[in-house]
Structure 1
Amino acid sequence: MTEFGKDLSVAETPIPGLLVIELPVHGDPRGWFKENWQREKLLALGVPDLRVVQNNISFNNDVGTTRGIHAEPWDKFVSVAHGSIFGAWVDLRAGDTFGQTFTAELGPDRAVVVPRGVGNSYQSLAPDTVYTYLVTDHWSAESDYTFLNLADETVAIDWPIPLDQCEISDKDRQHPPLSAVTPFTPRRALVVGANGQLGRALRAALDGQEHVDFADIDTLDITEDLSQARPWRQYDTIINAAAYTAVDRAETLEGRAAAWRVNVEAVANLARVATEHRLTLVHISSDYVFDGTTEIHVEDEPLTPLGVYGQTKAAGDLIASTVPQHYILRTSWVIGDGSNFVRTMASLAERGVDPRVVDDQHGRLTFSQDLAEAIVHLISGDAPYGVYNVSNDGPVLSWAQIARRVFELCGHDPERVTPVTTEAYYANVDGPVSPRPTHSTLDLAKIRRTGFTPLDADIALQNYLARC
């Protein structure tokens, strides 16, 4: 029987992501009314934004009509418009909860969010039952589906009406037992720019995860139309680790065009695909989107880029932010596998070269391994979408101070490093020089609130040099 006047509430179940929603139903002698899906209220209670594309209705003539168990490659919001059902759900996703079951009766006053890969089934408990479900994708023959037999003895669903007394389709009777079910695989993630410093760190961080694909310029040109480049229905995340980072060359005619092509046009291509297919886009930004007049930068600081590189990164940020599900990670002074400042200083120290190093630009190093771990943390947790500053933690230093620390850790006299101003350092450089932010330090409070603790930069530096 429908219960009138209850408060809207959401409860978790033993199946991760399967949520039971108590719906307020308002009745009088004429009948009743309910808000079946009220996005703003449900999101405030922690229900994911399903962004449904289709509404399906199943009418069931008789008591005992039984359907399922079907696991489909989309999320569903299931409710009842008339009558009541006994619902049974089985987790058919690969993982520790494979085979976990949950059952509940649903009437007009109760609904369920069913995640992709969780088997859905029900038995009508009243005549003329109307079962309705909102879905997040359109049916496609290319999609993967998984089925489980209604009478499987392993999950042992306690059906109110014995199955031999029920109306069941021949197809549903022939579904396999749990022992023969191939677990539903996760949607795939795609890392682009997989051969750069961050891309190689992501390869290490995601090593062994079969659902992750890696692409570089030779296998996927993100500056071209991407609409048919991949079977995007099979993906849920794109991590954009590709970028044009030659900041001085970006000030030349050819470099400017290349920077805009990679840092802006390619981001627009990725954003278009992510929006159309409801994917999460992870985009890597830079401290160069700021002019550096503020000593510590927060996420919502207005964009004030100085040079072409910074301008293209700022434009890319704005494009990426239009994707409903996005993480923009703003970082600084990245050090990883490949040619970089730390390796250069260590090499100079070993070769007996005494460098002049800029002492009036201040910030923190970001080691690509730690940046990759921050990305994995965000996409695998429940962190809200948006912009996050990510660097290593610790004292704010100049490039010259970092160079001296590298010399010291490599067993050389740090006094061999001569601090100079930016103006003096570039005084005799032949060719265009991009303006640099004076202050590149990023406030890390927001990423910490998600449960991620950035590693101290000096500890990360020691670990990095130990591996070199």
Structure 2
Amino acid sequence: MVPHGKRLQALETSIPGLIVFELPVPGDNRGWFKENWQREKMLALGLPDFGPVQNNVSFNDAVGTTRGIHAEPWDKWVSVATGRIFGAWVDLREGPTFGAVFTAEIDPSRAIFVPRGVGNSYQTLESDTAYTYLVNDHWSAGASYTFLNLADETAAIAWPIPLDTVEISAKDLAHPRLGDVTPMAPPKTLVLGANGQLGRALRDALPQAEFLGRTEFDLTDPAAWTSRRWRDYGTVINAAASTAVDAAETPEGRAAAWAINVTAVADLARVATANGLTVVHVSSDYVFDGTLEIHTEDEPFTPLGVYGQTKAAGDAIIATVPRHYIVRTSWVIGDGTNFVRTMASLAERGVNPSVVDDQIGRLSFATDIAAGIAHLLGVQAPFGTYNLSNSGEPQSWADIAKRVYELTGNDPDRVTGISTADYFAGKQVSPRPPNSTLDLAKLVSTGFAPRDADTALRTYVAGTSSAGDSS
């Protein structure tokens, strides 16, 4: 007797991410029918959009057939087509729930989502049991697997049929006890562009991540995108970009900007979509023409120059990735050559500069961008685009230069304001957006409060001065 009049519902278990689903199984005198996996309905109930790529069936003709406990580096949707099993699941992932156990009987009216790293095992309670499972990766000899002995005393699974009376494979009998199991590590985070200002800041914000610079991973080399087992990763942060704004207006610079900011981003998007990765992609205020005083995340693209055009194209590509964060920032200041360091150096060398006073925006310190990225990932904020700069009153570049002079003990009146048109007169440069201020309300709604830009500037200048930097 299989048909059940259950309503479709999801039930949480004692293991995080392990979800039992009750399935309606209507029937009549001809037999029964069920929707074994229905993406739209089940996503609405909390099932992850795990993207299955393979469907397997294990047929067991005898009662007491026992298999497991195996944890693979992929997710599984487990169900029964005919018969009935006693299932046992053990959390074998790194973390506070390592060793947690959940058991349940599964028949055609019930299924269970088993997340990556949770050990899966079962014992048949009826003959002719067909055990089925969808998985979101293909089996690979190079993948990392974790196993636990079925008779482990710590897990103490109450098998309904004693293990010494049933058929068990020699491999399952040889698996280690819990105390000897190496927990499965979480999916890795990869940072591309590891040696830039943001990449270096991300090393402190995400110390467990893997960091690759251009030497180790050339984004413009197609072979690089096939050189890794991407299913071992959960997140890729793209902190790499061609940021030579003025050079992008030259023939060679234009080609380089499109290669890194667009073509390589398309390769990243393809890899991320195919492997279910979360992508964090860093955008720029240059995707706007600056006619609006404050830019929200949904403002249409209106780039003025080649650099802005390539960044806008990259954003549009990344927006097609199901799991994405586009982090739009402006006026980045970090570990390396930048505007603040240049002004501090000029001040100490007695130079009285002319600085543009009709471009308005806020500084974005790399440490704060990195902290914001870590926050979005940590709280699992809704996917989409987020403006991320420091907060506070918008300023011109000349205002900031004066403040740097003041903070380094120099006379701010040594800085003279000048219009963009006059500053760049006779030079081949990219057009700049006159207004670069980003609306931060969406980011703040996730629980992240960016530091005040002037507070961050004081800290940065003090650190630069104490380090004796004169670059």
Partner of 1:146: 146
Amino acid at match of 1:140: S
Distance in 2 between the 1:300 and 1:145 partners? Answer: 43
Q: CA deviation at 1:251?
A: 1.0
- What SS does the corresponding residue of 2:282 show, helix, strand or coil? strand
Partner of 1:464: 460
Provide Cα deviations, 1:351-390, integer angstroms capped at 9, x if missing partner: 3322222222121111111111222223344223222221
5+ residue gaps, structure 1, are: none
5+ residue gaps, structure 2, are: 465-471
Q: Is the 8 A contact 1:284 1:330 kept in 2?
A: yes
2:204 is the counterpart of 1:224: no
Q: CA deviation at 1:50?
A: 0.8
1:404 aligned to which of 402, 405, 410: 402
Alignment CA distance shift 1:391-1:55 (3 Å): same
Percent sequence identity is 68
Partner of 1:353: 351
- What SS does the corresponding residue of 1:316 show, helix, strand or coil? helix
Distance in 1 between the 2:24 and 2:402 partners? Answer: 66
Please list, as runs of the form range in 1=range in 2, the aligned pairs for 1:42-57 lying within 5 A after superposition.
Answer: 42-57=42-57
- What SS does the corresponding residue of 2:316 show, helix, strand or coil? helix
C-alpha root-mean-square deviation of aligned residues, in Å? 1.9
Distance in 2 between the 1:124 and 1:69 partners? Answer: 14
- What SS does the corresponding residue of 1:34 show, helix, strand or coil? coil
**Number of equivalent positions:** 463
1:234 aligned to which of 225, 232, 235: 232
Distance in 1 between the 2:458 and 2:159 partners? Answer: 61
- What SS does the corresponding residue of 2:220 show, helix, strand or coil? coil
Partner of 1:113: 113
Q: Is the 8 A contact 1:60 1:129 kept in 2?
A: yes
Distance in 2 between the 1:219 and 1:95 partners? Answer: 30
Alignment CA distance shift 1:31-1:141 (3 Å): same
Partner of 1:262: 260
- What SS does the corresponding residue of 1:282 show, helix, strand or coil? strand
Distance in 1 between the 2:375 and 2:452 partners? Answer: 17
Q: CA deviation at 1:2?
A: 5.7
Provide Cα deviations, 1:440-463, integer angstroms capped at 9, x if missing partner: 122222223333222222222222
Please list, as runs of the form range in 1=range in 2, the aligned pairs for 1:69-88 lying within 5 A after superposition.
Answer: 69-88=69-88
Amino acid at match of 1:81: A
Please list, as runs of the form range in 1=range in 2, the aligned pairs for 1:113-262 lying within 5 A after superposition.
Answer: 113-207=113-207, 209=208, 212-225=209-222, 226-262=224-260
Distance in 2 between the 1:99 and 1:464 partners? Answer: 45
2:440 is the counterpart of 1:438: no
Distance in 2 between the 1:147 and 1:285 partners? Answer: 42
Distance in 1 between the 2:448 and 2:85 partners? Answer: 43
Q: Is the 8 A contact 2:3 2:32 kept in 1?
A: no
Q: Is the 8 A contact 1:224 1:269 kept in 2?
A: no
Q: Is the 8 A contact 1:293 1:439 kept in 2?
A: yes
Q: Is the 8 A contact 2:362 2:393 kept in 1?
A: yes
- What SS does the corresponding residue of 1:339 show, helix, strand or coil? coil
2:451 is the counterpart of 1:455: yes
Q: Which moved more, 1:149-158 or 1:376-385?
A: 376-385
Q: Normalized against structure 1, the TM-score is what?
A: 0.94
Please list, as runs of the form range in 1=range in 2, the aligned pairs for 1:336-351 lying within 5 A after superposition.
Answer: 336-351=334-349
Distance in 1 between the 2:177 and 2:51 partners? Answer: 33
Distance in 1 between the 2:8 and 2:450 partners? Answer: 38
Alignment CA distance shift 1:302-1:78 (3 Å): same
- What SS does the corresponding residue of 2:103 show, helix, strand or coil? strand
